[in-house]
Amino acid sequence: MPPTLATQRLTLVPLGQEHLADYTALIAQPAVHRYLSSAKAIAADPPGQAQRIIELAQAQWRERGYGPFAVFATDTGAFVGRGGLFWVERLQAVEINYMLEPAAWGTGYATELSRRFLEFGFDALGLERMVATTNPDNAASQRVLLKVGMRPDGQRDFGTHMVDFFFIDRADWLAAGGA
């Protein structure tokens, strides 16, 4: 049974079909998809891309026991975004990622979520390493990763584009005090 997680202000539910409308409205916004490698595909067909990701999310939860969550503000119940853990085949690693409603930016939510993802990955799943990638121009996302203790390690070539690469090992996380 996939877990529901909580942070101080947020409730996280495995991303599923019931989130299609909220998730479509989220990714359709240019401010949200501008730094994503799939930006053009999303702009051309937000519902189709949202459905594709939900199906991938469900497969990840089924096959690996982790995946992306739909994220809600606990006090109001409002949908505020998506984030979680994702297996990235070409990196052979578990990536953390997040995307939030612009109205919720600057509130520390991405940082709060990322800390919870690291705790989930290291504590509950027993992972040894987690990684993250960002568009080289996505300064807000890079700042979040640095704040939660991830280390920058140059760039990776994803064929069609370059990404900035970050990682954190269990030992780094424990040395920083864990959760």
| Distance of alpha carbon 12 from alpha carbon 7, whole angstroms | 8
Binding residue (CB under 6 A) for ligand COA from 57, 100, 131, 150:
100
Q: Is 87 in the site for ligand COA (CB under 6 A)?
A: no
Site map for ligand COA, 37-76, x if CB under 6 A?
----------------------------------------
Q: How far apart are the first and last CA of the chain?
A: 23
Q: What is the DSSP letter of 138?
A: -
Query: Pick from 48, 58, 5, 9: which is nearest to 27 by CA?
Result: 48
Number of Cβ atoms within 10 Å of the Cβ of 165: 20
Q: Is 166 in the site for ligand COA (CB under 6 A)?
A: no
Nearer residue to ligand COA within complex by CB, 54 or 145: 145
Size, binding site for ligand COA by CB under 6 A? 21
Find tokens 């949200």 and name the residue.
Answer: 32
**Binding residues vs ligand COA (CB under 6 A):** 32, 35, 97-100, 104-111, 134, 138-141, 143-144
